[in-house]
């Protein structure tokens, strides 16, 4: 008969959170390369891995039997994960910016975000690790001593407030992004940001709960710290479960936001700016990315790709090129179709396939536009160039 229960239900929820966080870290790290640069994906992977470290730190301290066994070995195994709170926020912030802003890069200013995480071990050495084992064991076995120590209290409040502030900042970035999509008339249901909502808003909710718990425990007579702490463990477990379920339910997993749907941190051109500058930007983008090959390209979508409003783009096209949006896209599509029809390597491609490849979805419109541009039909043009 087993007389010793190693883990209680709360311990199991914390362990489950730690294991699933590690699974998410591995899955994110193994995702193939896409629009988001690899180092930002590593940021998200590390964000989840820090959740695993946080779970280990929690189990070591709060699981009575584990605490007893580990403290008998050495009290230096405790309070090692204090830096986690200072690092999770900057990592999530960096990934969120990279996911939503197309040109976001790490600069020198970003490393200031990491400074508290680097200073935390030094601070812990000064208030805990430099003392003898007997002194440390007091704090290992009695949480009331920890929260009564002003130096530990400063650390705890700094950790929780810091990670909460970052979760608010990331939520605000996400809010500004969704409002941006609505302003330029993109359909949110066609853009996969649901998992990003779960990731960021779920993290905000957990940290809001923690901050509320701190304030209630510190400034009220309600003794709810233990209950709210247990609920925090359950919320963290539910949080990572929701992300894992999302991964299992959606074949695309944590799908990246497409380039044209992202923000640009460069200033958006408005009515007062040079229309010639807008046209140069349009021509460069057309030549490089060939958005005109999309069957359902419209002025709103193209304006979003160029970070201008549809009104500004239409006005620049009308005034500078003396054309409308459809005439511009038709011009580029006809030029592409001429190239494909004259390409000996594409000889076996049917006229109909060339038409679709170049963004046309109507044969009559294609033939009419092609003949207007070249004076001949597509089939005659191919015959002229391929014999």
Q: Is the pLDDT of residue 4 over 50?
A: no
pLDDT of residue 171: 97
The residues, any chain, with a CB within 8 Å of residue 115's CB and separated by 6 or more, are none
Report yes or no on whether pTM surpasses 0.75. no
* 264-290 per-position pLDDT tens digit: 655 444 444 578 888 888 889 899 889
Q: Is the pLDDT of residue 246 over 70?
A: yes
3 pLDDT band, cuts 50/70/90, is very low
Tell me the C-alpha distance between 252 and 242, whole Å: 16
* 13-47 per-position pLDDT tens digit: 999 999 999 999 998 888 776 767 788 889 999 99
- Structural domains of the chain sorted by starting position, each given as residue range(s) with its CATH number in brackets: 9-261 (1.20.1070), 275-386 (1.10.10.60)
Q: Is the pLDDT of residue 2 over 50?
A: no
The residues, any chain, with a CB within 8 Å of residue 212's CB and separated by 6 or more, are 228
Question: In this predicted model, which residue has the larger pLDDT, 180 or 158?
Answer: 158
What backbone torsions phi and psi does residue 269 show, to the nearest 5 degrees? -75, 135
Lowest mean pLDDT among 8-22, 32-46, 72-86, 209-223: 32-46
Question: In this predicted model, which residue has the larger pLDDT, 115 or 348?
Answer: 115
Averaged pLDDT, 237-249: 90
Tell me the C-alpha distance between 35 and 258, whole Å: 8
pLDDT of residue 267: 46
pLDDT of residue 60: 94
Instruction: For residue 81, give the nearest of 42, 48, 117, 132 by alpha carbon.
Output: 117
pLDDT of residue 102: 72
Lowest mean pLDDT among 111-125, 188-202, 316-330: 188-202
pLDDT of residue 387: 66
66 pLDDT band, cuts 50/70/90, is very high
pLDDT of residue 256: 76
Q: What is the mean pLDDT of the chain?
A: 86
Averaged pLDDT, 168-179: 92
Instruction: Please say whether the beta carbons of 43 and 84 come within 8 A.
Output: no
- The radius of gyration computed from the CA coordinates of the chain, to the nearest angstrom, equals 29
pLDDT of residue 148: 93
Instruction: Please say whether the beta carbons of 384 and 376 come within 8 A.
Output: yes
Residue in this structure with the two tokens 């979805």, named with its chain if needed: 361
Region of 136 (left: φ > 0; alpha: ψ -120 to 50; beta: rest) is alpha
pLDDT of residue 24: 95
pLDDT of residue 72: 94
Q: Is the pLDDT of residue 368 over 60?
A: yes
3-state secondary structure the chain: CCCCCCCCHHHHHHHHHHHHHHHHHHHHHHCCCCCCCHHHHHHHHHHHHHHHHHHHHHHHHHCHHHHHHHHHHCHHHCCHHHHHHHHHHHHHHHHHHHHHECCCCCCHHHHHHHHHHHHHHHHHHHHHHCCCHHHHHHHHHCHHHHHHCHHHHHHHHHHHHHHHHHHHHHHHHHHHHHHHHHHCCCCHHHCCCHHHHHHHHHHHHHHHHHHHHHHHHHHCCCCCHHHHHHHHHHHHHHHHHHHHHHHHHCCCCCCCCCHHHCECCCCCECCCCCHHHHHHHHHHHHHHHCHHHCCCCCHHHHHHHHCECHHHHHHHHHHHHCCCHHHHHHHHHHHHHHHHHCCHHHCCCCHHHHHHHCCCCCHHHHHHHHHHHHCCCHHHHHHHHHC
Lowest mean pLDDT among 118-132, 171-185, 262-276, 300-314: 262-276
* 93-125 per-position pLDDT tens digit: 999 999 888 778 888 999 999 999 999 999 999
Q: Is the pLDDT of residue 349 over 60?
A: yes
């Amino acid at each position: 008969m087993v007389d010793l229960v190693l883990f209680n239900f709360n311990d199991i929820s914390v362990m489950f959170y730690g294991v699933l966080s590690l699974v998410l870290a591995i899955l994110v790290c193994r995702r193939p390369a896409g629009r988001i640069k690899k180092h930002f994906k590593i940021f998200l992977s590390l964000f989840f891995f820090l959740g695993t470290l946080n779970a280990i730190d929690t189990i070591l301290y709060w699981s009575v039997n584990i605490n007893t066994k580990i403290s008998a070995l050495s009290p230096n195994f405790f309070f090692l994960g204090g830096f986690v709170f200072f690092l999770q926020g900057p990592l999530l912030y960096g990934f969120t910016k990279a996911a939503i802003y197309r040109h976001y890069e790490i600069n020198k200013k970003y490393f200031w975000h990491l400074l508290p995480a680097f200073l935390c071990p030094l601070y812990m050495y000064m208030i805990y690790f430099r003392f003898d084992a007997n002194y440390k064991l007091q704090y290992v076995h009695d949480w009331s001593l920890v929260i009564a120590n002003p130096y530990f209290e400063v650390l705890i409040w700094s950790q929780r407030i810091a990670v909460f502030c970052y979760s608010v900042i990331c939520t605000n970035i996400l809010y500004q992004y969704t409002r941006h999509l609505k302003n330029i008339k993109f359909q949110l249901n066609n853009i996969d940001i649901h998992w990003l909502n779960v990731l960021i808003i779920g993290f905000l909710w957990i940290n809001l709960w923690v901050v509320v718990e701190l304030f209630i425990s510190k400034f009220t007579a309600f003794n709810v710290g233990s209950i709210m702490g247990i609920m925090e463990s359950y919320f963290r477990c539910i949080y990572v479960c929701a992300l894992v379920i999302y991964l299992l339910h959606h074949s695309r997993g944590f799908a990246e936001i497409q380039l044209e749907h992202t923000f640009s941190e460069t200033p958006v051109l408005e009515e007062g700016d040079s229309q010639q500058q807008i046209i140069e930007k349009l021509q460069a983008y057309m030549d490089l990315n060939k958005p005109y090959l999309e069957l359902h390209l419209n002025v709103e979508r193209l304006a979003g790709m160029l970070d201008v409003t549809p009104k500004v783009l239409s006005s620049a096209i009308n005034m500078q090129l003396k054309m409308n949006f459809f005439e511009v896209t038709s011009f580029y599509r006809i030029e592409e179709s001429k190239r494909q029809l004259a390409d000996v390597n594409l000889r076996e491609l049917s006229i109909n396939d060339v038409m679709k490849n170049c963004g046309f979805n109507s044969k009559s419109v294609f033939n009419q536009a092609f003949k207007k541009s070249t004076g001949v039909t597509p089939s005659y043009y191919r015959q002229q160039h391929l014999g």
